[in-house]
Structure 1
Amino acid sequence: MQLTHSQNKFSNKKFPVTLVLDHISGEANIGSIFRLSDAFHVEEIIFCGTEPNLNSNRLKKTSRSTHEYVKFQFSENPTAIIKGKKAEAYSIIALEITQNSVPIQQLELKPSEKVVLIAGHENFGISEDLLRLCDSIVHIPMFGNNSSMNVAQAIGISLYEITKCLIP
């Protein structure tokens, strides 16, 4: 029998994870990212470069109202955000396929380590300027013909892998 929200036995654990979204603009993706951020109880979403349209019906429908209570902000200066988080001892991790990226399963984090996960624009990825500031660049291994996946799905997989590392 399926459990209702009040019957589930999930803990209400907040993870020291901040999402930095570099020019992500798709309203369905943004709604899904809000919902994932609630599911994985991330600290905050920081939108950079493209401010989300919170009046979008598509965003609202996809987020299932999580955009109303998941903490977020908008910044026009992602470099300053990343440098500030580095100063606060966050590990800066980019989700991108590059020559130097490693499979996300190889990511080694200490329990309760503070993490910034950067994800990039649906077509263009993460800017080179931000990639240069990262401590790690990870990718999700794929086995089909396509060389990329939907950004919201990739964030969901990444949050799952990261939170597994952060649980003591």
Structure 2
Amino acid sequence: MITSVQNGQVKQWRKLKRKRGREKEQAFLVEGFHLVDEALKSQWEVREIIFREDVDIQNEWQSYTWYQVSHEVFDAVSETENPQGVAAVVQMDELEWQGGSRVLVLDSIQDPGNLGTLIRTADAAGFDAVLLGKGTVDPFNDKVIRATQGSVFHIPLFFGELEEWIPELQGQGFHVWATSLQQATVYDELEPVTPMALIVGNEGAGVNQSYINMADERVSIPIYGQAESLNVAIASGILMYYLRN
């Protein structure tokens, strides 16, 4: 059992709590029985499982590389307030673009909870991929992972410059919608088509105007009360489910 936070293995795990460490190691941490189980059931490679000393090791997990650690060590690795005592190190998956019928495109989403909810909702709505543009928070951030509730292992994530992705998608036959508050058509006045890409934007600024100009359609959701706008994850959920019609 590992009991010292100065242990070399523990130091490696703690590096994964920072984006720089995750990028260098091409790996990230997940915590809790549900997320570890989701990782193990997926096609992603689980490097090792970490158990706190008071947690029983599940029989079906014993075939993986695992470490038992003290309470002090687990607390040093954990980022949750009330950890369940189990975590895993997951290798970042290298995916190849396969196209699809419906793709969610994210422009500078900065709140981890919003990003996790967007990924989870895209998974639930049966979208084929999520494209993360520059300025979007790291999807392997602990708060994002927890907000996805495991959907990060179900739907492919891709990264890149949207000014390159948008024309590439259009070249592949995708019809591109961008959310906008100006000169936009109310979404349910348009017929959903496939393949389709939906661009949603930053919590404060919305979709970058240059990307709006590149889109095939500008769409909006009507506000019936006095709220200034909808949360980006809520708005995206409405639109993604509409696009299933």
The alignment's TM-score, normalised by the length of structure 1, stands at: 0.82
Q: Structure 2: which 5+ residue stretches go unaligned?
A: 1-99
Does 1 or 2 have the higher relative contact order (CA < 8 Å, sep 6+)? 1
Work out whether residues 38 and 66 of structure 1, in 8 Å CA contact, stay in contact via their aligned partners in 2.
yes
Contact 2:178-2:218 within 8 A present in 1 as well:
yes
2:135: which partner in 1?
A: 50
Q: Identify which of 95, 101, 105 aligns with 2:179.
A: 95
Distance in 2 (alpha carbons) for counterparts of 1:65 and 1:19: 18
In the alignment, residue 28 of structure 1 is paired with which amino acid?
Answer: G
| Structure 1: segments with no counterpart, 5+ residues | 1-14
CA distance in 2, matches of 1:130, 1:60: 27
Please say which of residues 138-147 and 150-159 is displaced more in the overlay.
138-147
2:91 is matched with none
Partners of 1:51 and 1:74 within 8 A in 2: no
- 1:119 and 2:200 matched: yes
Is 1:84 the counterpart of 2:168? The answer is: yes
Q: Is the 8 A contact 2:192 2:242 kept in 1?
A: no
Give the match for residue 107 of structure 1.
190
> Structure 2 counterpart of 1:131, which letter?
I
93 and 55 in structure 1: CA distance in 2 versus 1, 3 angstrom threshold? closer
Give the % identical residues: 23
1:55 positional shift: 3.9
Change in Cα spacing, 1:133 to 1:154, as seen in structure 2 (3 Å) is: same
Q: Distance in 1 between matches of 2:140 and 2:192?
A: 37
2:110 to 8, 25, 38: 25
Deviation per CA, 1:55-109, whole angstroms, max 9, x where unpaired?
Answer: 433212211011123101111x2111000011111101011211x1011111113
Within 2, Cα distance between the matches of 1:53 and 1:119?
Answer: 17
Runs of 4+ in structure 1 deviating by more than 4 angstroms, as ranges, are none
